[in-house]
Amino acid sequence: MTNHWVDFKNTDVALICGSNAAENHPVSFSWLQEARDKRGAKIISVDPRFTRTSARADLYCPIRSGTNLAFYGGMINYILANDRYHNEYIAHYSNAASIIKEGFSFDPETGLFTGYDEGRRAYTDRTTWDYERDAEGKVRKDLTLQHPRSVFQLMKRHYSRYTVEAVAQTCGAPVDKLRQVYELFTSTGQVGKAGSIMYAMGQTQFTSGSQNVRCMAIIQTLLGNMGLPGGGVNALRGHSNVQGSTDMALLFHLLPGYMPCPTTGMPTLEAYNATTPPAPAYWSNRPKWIASLLKAWYGEAANPGNDFAYDFLPKAQAGKNYSHLALFENLYNHQDLEGLFVWGQNPVVSGPNSNMESKAVENLKWLVCLDPFENETSAFWKRPGANPAEIDTEVFLLPVTTFLEKEGTVTHSGRLIQYRWKAVDGPGNVRQESFILDRLVKRLKALYAGSDQPQDAMIKHLTWNYPDPLRSQTDFIDAVMREINGRNLSTGKLVPGFGALQEDGSTDCGNWIYSGMYTEELGNRTQSRVLDDPGGWGAHPGWGFAWPANRRIIYNRCSADPDGKPWSEERKYLWWDGARWTGYDVPDFAPTMPPDAPLGKKPFIMMAERESRVFAIGALNDGPLPEHYEPVESPTHNVFNRRQNNPAYFTGTDGAKSLGDVEKFPLICSTWRVCEHWHTGALSRNMPWLAELMPESFVEIGEDLARERNIGNGEMVELVSARGKARAMAMVTPRAHMFEINGRNVHQVGLTWHFGFQGLVTGDIANNLTPHVGDANTAIPEFKAFLVDIRKVTS
């Protein structure tokens, strides 16, 4: 999130789209209710079915799964065509006034931007997706926004196709509802108002998921909603610590703190640092952060003479994809992978095309699972339909503690790092993961201790001098947190923040964005529990520690006008007092840089141009402006351009082999969650108090479809896709819809994906149905829109 949970109380309009916040993030509703009580805020729910969130919304608009881009394209058009944007804000704080190179174009006939190579299914030439520059290399701008090649005018032309009527046809939304949503949300473009967008996997898990998120950033920039209390682009993350897991780089393409993973194309530290974004982007400090990271990992073995042991880092093969989809395809095709550690995951239930992924696991020689319960992944060898006699995988199941039985930090969606103490001891011999990790590393280091092989140096020299976690978890975690925060290696003192990190090896730091969470002066700030709330905006700066630098709202310079005055008295949050930036939050800005300094009006400090990129310069694989493409499996044709699917979506080696068409699979299907179960259900389906609340897997189907197929409420049905089948109980309800899409009626169904064959309550795995294709940029699977057919189970 750019903002945070408590900040929802400050909003005037909350747009909940691609999220079922009331069910899956109930705490958000505590704050939304406060916004409603105290500010008269309105809540909008946009969802394929009428959910518990919709039930508590002021305005509900149904849209077909997989049409977020059309929906948002329509919103952008509405903003631009009806002058709903915040003119001064976008002229100064975004690249809307910048002029794009001649030659850049988008052709609705092909559905492509310039630079596409059909053979390689990729935009191989993105040189025109760039600014026009003057002789000194400065970006040419037109602050009146009138230049025909200004980003603003390009967007105006691009989105003119997204009329409310055209969007309604693609989304299947009622025109009047759609217009009401656009009208209400864009009302937050007025000075003094703020609108928040809340989203979750209903935006990201599509072949165009990254572009959906881009749309939200564009809309919030156009409306001047970034950097203000009650505004922002707010991802409601699916797990209490999933923000922490991505911060610490449990992702295939990153190092901690969102630094890129080194590839074979960057064989030296110099080559790696050459990819650093140029100043004045704050990212230009990256060489300091990578040097400090390497010092944290390799200690004495990392020094300026050996590139800080950069050689020890494994290098991804340039151009090779290491995502979940690719990993399981490799495994399925007997490549590369011999063994697998699975912890905090249950991919047999959570991975797409589960039949294929479960089969792939059979190719492992060994599998180590860490979980409080024997879940579907550790029990894959006895799954329905498998023959254990034919599976040679050796499975080790290590029972581990649940979240209540261990201590440490979690980082929630609002980037807030909070320490939690253990409530109870785990049963029997159950261990905390840090203990298992500690012993694993120590064993590995012992095995490699005598090796002189260069490839073993990364393990041999890894620093691992923490107190024994068996003796004291608290001391172990304390030592790890100090290392993550970073130290001055000559004084041995903790650094006060990432501003103190150095490129010369004199500091170490395990994750630059977490730097400042543990300081000499303030101690372990994640344990701080001060409730003070200066300004009353809910920032609570003394409660825990929010990265970066304890900022509660990022880009908060935007809450003041270019001259540094608050845009309005109602939303006075951060301002220039003549000598420094002051207010109710840590400024996301050099605290003493006056507004009339050369960069004093440029709030987006991570970017080289220090502006919000409503036009994405060169960065995305599937175009600089979001454009609607249909999900890979779709019941209709793309009416916005002539290209049916995202031109660069991830297919891997096997994704395209099992796709279905609308003739055979006429229903749109999505997967979703319920409040009562958690992820793959490994915990909640083993907890009787939760299991009783949702005892069986169910599919929500509309009354029309039920009539057509003679399905009664509570009867068992079977869904079939090109990948597989899943049985579930039918919940016939007017909350599920039939959509009129481009003149044709199409039914939408959807089912919970929490079920599997282990636990107190069981059910078929919904991901038997989902396709093995992913987003063009992140390769996140397209879980949320695909085609199925349904039949009543009579035998």
Distance from C-alpha of 376 to C-alpha of 231, rounded to nearest angstrom:
40
Minimum distance from residue 8 beta carbon to other proteins (Å): 12
Of 62, 64, 161, 61, give the one whose Cα is nearest residue 744: 64
Other CB atoms within a 10 A radius of the CB of residue 420 amount to 16
> Which of residues 498 and 753 has its CB atom nearest to other proteins in the complex?
753
CB of 532 to other proteins, least distance (A): 22
CB 84, CB 76: distance < 8 Å: no
- Residue 10's identity, in one-letter code, is N
Nearer to other proteins, 44 or 776 (CB): 44
Q: Among residues 50 and 373, whose Cβ is nearest to other proteins?
A: 50
Compute the least distance from the CB of residue 169 to other proteins, in Å: 18
Question: Quick count: other Cβ atoms within 10 Å of Cβ 337?
Answer: 15
3 state DSSP class of 102: coil
Q: From 631, 622, 776, 629, select the one nearest 108 (Cα to Cα).
A: 629
Q: What is the DSSP letter of 656?
A: G
What are 231's two structure tokens? 């505004």
Residue closer to other proteins, measured from CB, 22 or 549: 22
- Cα distance between residue 736 and residue 141, in whole Å: 48
Task: Point out which residues pair with 197 in neighbouring strands.
Answer: 15, 233
Between the two ends of the chain, the Cα-to-Cα distance in Å is 48
CA–CA distance, 788 with 378 (Å, rounded to integer): 29
Q: At what angle do helices 68-81 and 175-186 cross, to 10 degrees?
A: 60
The least distance separating other proteins from the CB of residue 51, rounded to whole angstroms, comes to 9
CB of 27 to other proteins, least distance (A): 6
Minimum separation from the CB atom of position 728 to other proteins (A): 9
d(CA 297, CA 313): 10
Closest CB 372 distance from other proteins, rounded Å: 17
Could you tell me which residues come within 8 angstroms of residue 246 by beta carbon, excluding any fewer than 6 positions away? 254
Residue 369's H or E segment, with its range, is strand 366-371
Cβ-based neighbour number of residue 9 at 10 Å: 22
* Cβ closest to other proteins, residue 482 vs residue 679: 679
C-alpha–C-alpha distance, residues 248 and 270, integer Å: 23
Tell me whether residue 54 or residue 680 sits nearer to other proteins (CB atom): 54
Cβ 440 vs Cβ 447: under 8 Å: no
CB of residue 670 to other proteins, shortest distance in Å: 17
In DSSP terms, 546 is beta-bridged to 416
Q: How many residues does the chain have?
A: 795
- Closer of 245 and 686 to other proteins (Cβ): 686
278 DSSP assignment: P
Question: Given the complex with other proteins, which of 421 and 689 has the nearer CB atom?
Answer: 689
Kindly tell me which of 474 and 686 has the beta carbon lying closer to other proteins.
686
Tokens, residue 216: 């939200």
Residue placing its CB nearer to other proteins in the complex, 238 or 695: 695
At closest approach, how far in Å is the CB of 730 from other proteins? Answer: 8
Provide, rounded to whole angstroms, the least separation between the CB of residue 30 and other proteins. 5
- Please, which residue, 53 or 612, has the CB nearer to other proteins? 53
User: Of the two residues 176 and 475, which places its CB atom closer to other proteins in the complex?
Assistant: 176
Sign of the dihedral through C-alpha 52, 57, 63, 66? negative
Query: How many angstroms separate the Cα of 80 from the Cα of each of 173, 188, 224, 490, 641?
Result: 21, 14, 13, 56, 20
Token pair 């500690």 is found at 438
Place of tokens 């915040």: 86
In the DSSP assignment, the letter for residue 497 is S
Nearer to other proteins, 31 or 131 (CB): 31
Residues that bind other proteins (CB under 8 A): 22-23, 26-27, 29-30, 33, 36-37, 40, 50, 52-56, 58, 60, 674-676, 687-696, 698, 713-714, 729, 731-735, 760-761
Smallest gap, in angstroms, from Cβ of residue 70 to other proteins?
A: 22
